[in-house]
């Protein structure tokens, strides 16, 4: 089903990324599972199929009719350029009912959940994390590993640092690939999980989201080199 939403808030998250809140007035609430995405139809091409872009939902299901998205402006990206440069509060956005299979299992009580991402790939994990916490769903541990180029690109930083301070069952690692910073590791996300998850454990689930190169390498390292079962590694690709 397609809806007509309206942008109610735009917030700059980094020099290249903006967060958008879109309200759908025609319904009381939007049903979705944390981790899913929505397809937007944007005024960027004459052909309908060329106007559609998929974006992961960044907020947790809360019974409202508001969806949040984190969008990075890509060089040559018509959809992201329109949203970041032309869209404004009040702009109407046509979007489809959320879908996708990238979500957590119904039972996470005994699971160590490891979320590995780069850039806006953190969006579905933000949704998952706050869905688990807000609805008091049981889990053994949560570990978010976030990779970006520079400190300025750390998305939702304050939220995750606050969680790491308040909860013993939540850990948060940030890796910067193009900047040396005393508070963060320099390098790539692979170095973090390779160090902390050296031995296969049947109760650990890895969720990966980000650029295809990172995801492909992580899948290979986790399954072929470390030895986790393929069904323990779930992923979503961006580009």
Q: Examine the domain organization and report whether 132 and 176 are in the same domain.
A: yes
- Do 121 and 102 meet the contact criterion of CB atoms below 8 Å apart? no
Same domain, 133 and 87: no
Question: Measuring CA to CA, which residue among 39, 32, 36 is closest to residue 2?
Answer: 39
Question: Are 35 and 124 contacting, i.e. CB atoms less than 8 angstroms apart?
Answer: yes
Angle among Cα 121, 231, 220 to the nearest 5 degrees reads 65
**Cross-strand bridge partners of residue 204:** 112
Q: Taking a C-beta distance cutoff of 8 angstroms, is the pair 193, 206 a contact?
A: yes
Its pTM stands at 0.96
Burial of 10 by CB count in 10 Å (0-12 exposed, 13-18 middle, 19+ buried)? middle
Q: Do residues 123 and 230 share a domain?
A: yes
CATH number at residue 56: 2.40.30.10
CA distance 72 to 36: 18
Q: What band does 238 get if pLDDT is binned at 50, 70 and 90?
A: confident
- Flag whether 102 is in a domain: no
Q: What percent of the chain has pLDDT over 70?
A: 100
In the chain, the number of structural domains is 2
Q: What DSSP line would sit under 135-156, residue for residue?
A: TT---SEEEEEEEESSGGG-TT
Instruction: For residue 29, give its domain range.
Output: 2-96
Question: Do residues 133 and 208 share a domain?
Answer: yes
Separation of CA 226 from chain center: 25
> What pLDDT does residue 122 have?
98
Q: Mark whether 127 and 218 lie in a shared domain.
A: yes
Q: Encode pLDDT of 23-74 as tens digits.
A: 999 999 999 999 999 999 999 999 998 999 999 999 999 999 999 999 999 9
Q: What is the mean pLDDT of residues 114-121?
A: 97
Quote the tokens at residue 122.
Answer: 């953190």
Residue 156 belongs to domain with CATH number = 3.40.50.80
User: Are 116 and 231 in a shared domain?
Assistant: yes
Beta-carbon contacts of 112 under 8 Å, excluding residues fewer than 6 positions away, are: 139, 140, 141, 143, 201, 203, 204, 205
């Amino acid at each position: 089903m397609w809806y007509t939403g309206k942008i109610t808030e735009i917030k700059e998250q980094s020099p290249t990324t903006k967060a958008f809140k879109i309200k759908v007035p025609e319904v009381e609430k939007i049903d979705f599972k944390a981790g899913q995405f929505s397809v937007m139809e944007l005024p960027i091409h004459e052909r309908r199929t060329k106007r559609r872009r998929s974006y992961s939902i960044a907020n947790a299901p809360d019974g409202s009719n508001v969806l949040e998205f984190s969008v990075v402006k890509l060089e040559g990206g018509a959809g992201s350029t329109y949203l970041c440069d032309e869209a404004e509060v009040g702009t109407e956005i046509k979007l489809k009912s959320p879908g996708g299979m990238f979500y957590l299992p119904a039972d996470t009580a005994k699971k160590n959940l490891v979320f590995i991402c780069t850039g806006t790939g953190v969006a579905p994990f933000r949704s998952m994390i706050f869905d688990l916490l807000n609805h008091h769903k049981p889990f053994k541990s949560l570990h978010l590993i976030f990779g970006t180029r520079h400190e300025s690109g750390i998305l939702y930083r304050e939220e995750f640092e606050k969680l790491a301070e308040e909860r013993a069952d939540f850990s948060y690692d940030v890796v910067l690939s193009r900047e040396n910073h005393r508070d963060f590791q320099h390098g790539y996300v692979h170095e973090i999980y390779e160090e902390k998850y050296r031995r296969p454990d049947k109760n650990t689930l890895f969720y990966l989201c980000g650029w295809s190169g990172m995801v492909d390498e992580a899948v290979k390292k986790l399954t072929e080199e470390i030895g986790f079962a393929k069904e323990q590694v779930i992923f979503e690709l961006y580009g």
